[in-house]
A and B are shown apart, each in its own frame.
Chain A
């Protein structure tokens, strides 16, 4: 032992105490891994030299289940992947099956879908902000974030009776009409939310500890993002002005004005700023949408038994965490032949190794937080 220490000390000129590489296991039951992520850290002192993610603890075989359910029966399952953004999952799935069937949701359904999905984006980002800040040591934002998220969940509950796994949409449109004070509730939330975002900003944006913990931590440039496949706020924070809602609009996004926020450095601080701005933009989309919700039916003409013609479809949406894609193959039967779900968290998590190299162990926690993963979606 003593020998190796000396050897290392002489080899690594400059460092006083060379040490053997140490493998440290982090998780799967660690509060800052946001679920059951296990990371093997290769350490040199406190510097991370490499990581290996061990995932699959929450694997439920969602794609296999899909092959054994009818199209409608599978819809509630997708809520349980990214369970803090169930509405977005549902939107992607319903739109994919609609494309497969070649039907379209009525305009009213599209607008209500858009409103709920944007509220869900805010709720998802609030969870990210609260837990991310908590991981780094700021306790207060968590309470603020959950306070606002509660308002959103109340709207969901009033709308469809569920708070988390909402199953809010149906293939072909919506099952439920919006309730009486829906617009008013959304408007009240959005009006208040502007003030609340300012509260988070006051707590964090200029906070020197926050800046110290996030700036230049976990830098990922645009080329690396695209190579690794990282999407959503991670991609935008590295300066790529790209958002599926603009690039290939779905639901009713083409009717609303909103900006795509971008960063410049691609570090944790930029990702923070991008997500904060996304919440503001989502708020603006909701306000525009409730102005004019078209009248009309909420469910298109789809049969009770869905038998999409044989063929395949790929449809992806901009979920709060990035590109959420569904690739569905139909053999003409009542059950999908194959459903492949492209989860944003799974692909984004691949970037962890690159982002953590050279950082301290404490930064790994910040970087896992900034990736905004949900293990239900990583493991499916």
Chain B
């Protein structure tokens, strides 16, 4: 849980997240003494040191349990700004998901989304954000998938994945194996292209669709 030594800008008041821990202690007490400290006390603009990586390897009980169970399928475990994530192999996605829900009690799939890294060999990262009600902790699963890969749907583990996967399909064009009704959700069914891919320009649109259905030249 520790290892925040590398966070550059602010050494003090370093506990905003860590579940339940009361952050921002007693502002009441500070109120009298003029400009209270937090930001003021910061040592003059810290010389920019970009090479410092905030992503540090993570090794705690939870990660060890995952590693013991799934071995090489847990590709990496990272802590970034006190939040934890596991990079996992897409081939074992549904087993790991099921284990997370049943054994580790991550009963809520808070969000499921994707990020496009077009220059990478495995182009997309699927991001599953899990929350555990009994333990009050979050864990992210990061699943690299290739453009032509069909990761298995999480719907039978967390039914909430239904629309979330449809949105990923809509925006990124990732097809989930085993999803019963995988079709676009926010864009029209016949729309061509997947807007949240990095090679889809912000002004780009399906001009043919716009012309045909809206009777205008451009929706811009």
Contacts and interface: CB of A to CB of B under 8 A. Distances in A.
B30 A337 contact: no
Interface residues of B, number: 63
A346 B170 CA distance: 15
B205 to A, nearest CB: 10
B148 interface: no
Interface stretch (B11-19, B61-69, B88-96): B11-19
How big is the A interface, by class?
35 or more
A59 B39 CA distance: 38
Given A65-B202, A296-B35, A111 B10 contact: no
B36 A99 contact: no
Contact of A301 (B36, B42, B81, B110): B42
B215 to A, nearest CB: 17
B39 A297 contact: yes
Contact of A340 (B16, B20, B111, B187): B111
A309 interface: yes
B191 to A, nearest CB: 10
Interface in A35-68: 55-56, 59, 61, 63-65, 67-68
Contact of B81 (A100, A111, A227): A100
Interface in B95-142: 107-111, 113, 115-116, 127, 129, 133, 136, 138, 140
B173 interface: no
Nearest to B127: A327
A47 B162 CA distance: 25
Contacts of A337: 115
Q: Mostly helix, strand, loop or mixed at chain B's interface? A: loop
B136 A106 contact: no
Given A56-B187, A350-B163, A103 B110 contact: no
Contacts of A107: 24, 27, 30-31, 36, 38
A379 B108 CA distance: 22
B146 interface: no
12 contacts: A64-B195, A67-B202, A226-B133, A247-B136, A249-B20, A249-B22, A254-B23, A255-B24, A294-B36, A301-B40, A309-B8, A327-B111
Interface of B: 7-10, 13, 16-17, 19-20, 22-24, 27-28, 30-32, 34-36, 38-40, 42, 45, 50, 52-55, 80-81, 83, 107-111, 113, 115-116, 127, 129, 133, 136, 138, 140, 158-160, 162-164, 171, 184-188, 195-196, 200, 202
Given A247-B20, A250-B23, A310-B53, 15 more contacts: A100-B81, A101-B9, A102-B81, A104-B10, A106-B36, A108-B36, A248-B17, A249-B23, A255-B28, A294-B27, A296-B34, A309-B50, A310-B54, A312-B80, A338-B196
